[in-house]
């Protein structure tokens, strides 16, 4: 694709200052997410988990049915295992966004390398990235800040970024943010 006769160049980046304890800041160079990033996550098996379903029953224990005679299901979004799976999903997406965004910084290098091949385990890769960030003393707020800045640079809708932040804070719970 050409715009005004020139091929679009998406190799731009921006510098952000990540506040550190003690008043200092860490200067990082971030770049926007590539087109299709979300689709690639899904192709690599990173999909939001679904809440558990069960057949809805009446007061006598009989299954409820709709007008076509099909069983009616209810979902339990408060299920502990489901909430933990949602939390882990958001954590994995956040670290993959940060890893992708920091590829524009020549001073940042992750020990973990993206897996290759059709049978690659991107969930394990994201978990390893998380461990690296944790070992580097990154906090939940650092991930949120970097995800927000990468989102802005990627021209994501502000509303989408705000919804992701609220969901992440809600899923993580205020007690886990240091």
pLDDT tens for each residue of the chain, 178 residues long: 666 776 666 568 899 999 888 888 999 999 999 989 999 999 898 999 999 999 999 899 999 999 999 999 989 888 999 999 999 999 999 999 999 999 989 999 999 999 887 667 899 999 999 999 999 999 999 999 999 999 998 887 555 555 555 555 555 554 333 3
Angle (nearest 5°) at CA 16 between 35 and 41: 30
The predicted model scores a pTM of 0.76
Structure tokens at 172: 């993580």
* Secondary structure E strands in 8-146: 14-19, 25-30, 53-55, 73-75
Kindly list the domain boundaries of the chain, sorted by start residue. 2-50+78-176
Question: What CA–CA distances, in Å, run from 161 to 65, 95, 144, 166?
Answer: 39, 15, 10, 9
């Amino acid at each position: 694709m050409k715009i005004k006769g020139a091929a679009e160049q998406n190799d731009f980046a921006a510098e952000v200052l990540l506040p550190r304890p003690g008043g200092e800041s860490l200067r990082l160079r971030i770049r926007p997410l590539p087109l299709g990033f979300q689709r690639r996550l899904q192709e690599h098996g990173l999909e939001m988990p679904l809440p558990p379903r069960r057949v809805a029953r009446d007061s006598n224990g009989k299954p409820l049915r709709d007008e076509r005679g099909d069983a009616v299901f209810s979902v339990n979004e408060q299920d502990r295992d489901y909430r933990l799976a949602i939390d882990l999903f958001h954590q994995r997406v956040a670290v993959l966004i940060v890893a992708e965004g920091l590829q524009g910084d020549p001073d940042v290098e992750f020990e973990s390398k993206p897996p290759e091949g059709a049978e690659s385990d991107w969930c394990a890769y994201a978990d390893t990235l998380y461990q690296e960030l944790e070992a580097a003393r990154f906090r939940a707020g650092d991930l949120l800040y970097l995800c927000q800045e990468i989102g802005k640079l990627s021209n994501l809708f502000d509303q989408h970024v705000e919804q992701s932040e609220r969901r992440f804070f809600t899923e993580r719970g205020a007690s886990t943010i240091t």
